Structure 1
Amino acid sequence: MGIVWLAAAGSSWSFGRNIISYEKNNFIEIARSQIGIRETNCENCGVAVKGYLSYVGIKSPAPWCAAFVSWCFGQAGYARPRTAWSPALFPRSRLVTAAKPGIVYGIFFASMKRIGHCGITERLQGDFIVGLEANTSLAGSREGDGVYRKVRHKRSIHRYADWL
């Protein structure tokens, strides 16, 4: 009987905080599973990129970091967010002051005068955020060629939003 109870307590349908933990881990696993996806045939093109963009109602080619974030939430069973515009991921009602796994982060670009790139916090490592980002590069640009794990200093992050 104790074994059955332990199995139930660790499952996705259990009570309390386990549900949140399971969903957050599932969401991060979905995002993590996309590491290595690359654009093909042209800038902002490819089968996977087209899938992320079509999820938010945008035709390829187009910038896709926010579409990727939205697609990950959708795959984890969340109806929102659902946008291809990174600033839309940071409404006042979703803002939080610190990162933790599953939190969306936004990077401000002075030349654009707005958030111009976003990612998903995978984990914290001291003063650094290990994130999962799309439409970036090894160098961390906002117009890259794929989905990468990126390490960014907390000071480089402009906003955090909690959609979980």
Structure 2
Amino acid sequence: MVHRPSSFFHQRTGSELINNYQIPASPDHQIINQVLKIAKSQIGVREATGNNDGRQVEGYLTYTGNKKGEPWCASFVSWVFGQAGFNQPRSAWSPALFPQLRQVKTAKPAVVFGVYFPTKGRIAHVGLVEKQHGDWLYTIEGNTNLAGSREGDGVYRKLRHSRTIKAYANWLTDKKGGSNE
């Protein structure tokens, strides 16, 4: 008796089978995708007058207890996590997004990154890592612009070199804000 492959395999080439195979999503991947989907949905939000204002920007600020006109990069990141069901982070102060228990050494999707500003003597801008390609990070950031300012006018997808990043923090481990790794 000659064994014949089933019609499923018989009608498809090996490359079709490999290219169409999907690894079942783990709970971690679902959370990462949820956080990034929310962040991506905000790309294109702009301030109303260029003074840290506008309906959506004020929503980010309100989420962290801040008022119209205040810097909002950390409020944006906190709001994204809140929309994904996380209790933390919830701060408009960018250094507060990097407690010791949350710090990690490498960039991964949906991890928070911080940029150090020598003139401020601290991390003064934050955003979310979307993905990494070699030494470059694709990021989603609020209160920035195409020039990379920490006082920008909207939510943008950016490309940053990993050398410009001072710290990373992982807030994905649980929805109550417990420790990671």
When normalised by structure 1's length, the TM-score is: 0.89
Counterparts of 1:137 and 1:84 in 2: how far apart (Å)? 18
Match of 2:112 in 1: 104
Match of 1:161 in 2: 169
Corresponding residue SS for 1:27: helix
Structure 1 gaps of 5+ residues are 1-8, 11-16
Match of 1:140 in 2: 148
Match of 2:88 in 1: 80
Deviation at 1:41, TM superposition (A): 2.8
Match of 1:64 in 2: 72
Match of 1:41 in 2: 49
Structure 2 gaps of 5+ residues are 1-22, 173-181
Corresponding residue SS for 2:69: coil
Counterparts of 1:101 and 1:163 in 2: how far apart (Å)? 11
Match of 2:39 in 1: 31
RMSD, aligned CA: 1.2
When normalised by structure 2's length, the TM-score is: 0.81
Counterparts of 1:41 and 1:34 in 2: how far apart (Å)? 18
Max radius of gyration: which structure? 2
What letter matches 2:128 in structure 1? Answer: I
Q: Which runs of 4+ in 1 moved over 2 A?
A: none
What letter matches 1:37 in structure 2? Answer: V
* Count of equivalent residues: 150
Identity %: 53
What letter matches 1:110 in structure 2? Answer: P
What letter matches 2:52 in structure 1? Answer: N
Query: CA-to-partner distance for each residue in 1:70-112, whole Å, 9 max, x for gaps?
Result: 0000000000000001000000000000001011000000000
Query: CA-to-partner distance for each residue in 1:47-86, whole Å, 9 max, x for gaps?
Result: 0010000001111110000000000000000000000010
Match of 1:149 in 2: 157
